[in-house]
Amino acid sequence: MRVLGNHAHFKLPRWRDLLSAVGVVPGTPATAEELMRRGETILVFPGGGREVAKRKGEKYQLLWENRMGFARLAVKHGYPIVPFATVGAEDSLDVVVDTDNALWAPARRLFERVSGSPDLFPIVRGIGPTPIPRPERQYYWFGEPIATDDIATTDDRAVSEVRDRTKTAIEGGISFLLDEQRADPQRSVAARLFGPERRTTRPRSG
C-alpha cells in the first residue's frame, strides 16, 4: 500500500526522507496516475493538510471543500473506493491555539514560505500540559467498496456523485464509531488494565 502525502511535507529536509522510508509518496495527480497504472493499492486522505491541521470545534469533521481529484482519478482508472473511518486519535489531543489565532499568524506565514502550504499544525495539549498524546482506544470501520468501473465519463457531475457517496459513507462510519465509543465500557486504559475481567485468581495447585 502507498500513502499519498501532502506535497508540502516533501519540501522539509529529513522529514521527507522519513516519510519516503515508510512508503509515503507526494500526493500529486501525476504520482497517483503512475501508481494506478501499476495497479497499486493507494491510501488517500481527500482533505489533505487542511483536514490534519484542524481548528477548534472541527473534531471528526471531513473538510474536503470541493475537492474531487481522488474521485476523478478513481473513475478514470476504474478503481474501487473503500471508505474507512477511525475514531480515537482526535480525542488524544486538545487544540489550544489554531491557525485562526492572530498570535499564530507569524509562524503560519513562515511555514507557508518554507513549505508552500498554509496548513500549519495547531498548538495542542495531550497528557497534562505536554503535546504527548493521551492514550485512547482506537476504533476502525471499513465500508463496502464503491465501484467506479461502470462510470463512462469523468465530467464534474459524475465525479461529484462519487465523491459525495464516499463522503456520506465515511460520515456514517464516523457516526457509527462514535456511538460505539460512547457505549464501550472498556474505552479507558484504566478499565482495560484494572477492570473486573483483569482481576483473575489463579487456581490452587494440588
pLDDT single digits (tens) 79-103: 999 999 999 999 999 999 887 777 7
Instruction: Write down the pTM of the prediction.
Output: 0.82
Q: Is 200 left (phi over 0), alpha (psi -120 to 50) or beta?
A: beta
Residues 69 and 13: their CA atoms lie apart, in Å, by: 27
For position 204, what pLDDT does the model report? Answer: 46
Which residue type sits at 71?
A
Residue 202, pLDDT above cutoff 60: no
pLDDT value of residue 8: 73
Q: Which residue has the cell 502550504?
A: 117
Burial 108-145 (b: 16+ CB within 10 A, else e): beebeeebebebbebbbeeeeeeeeeeebbebebebee
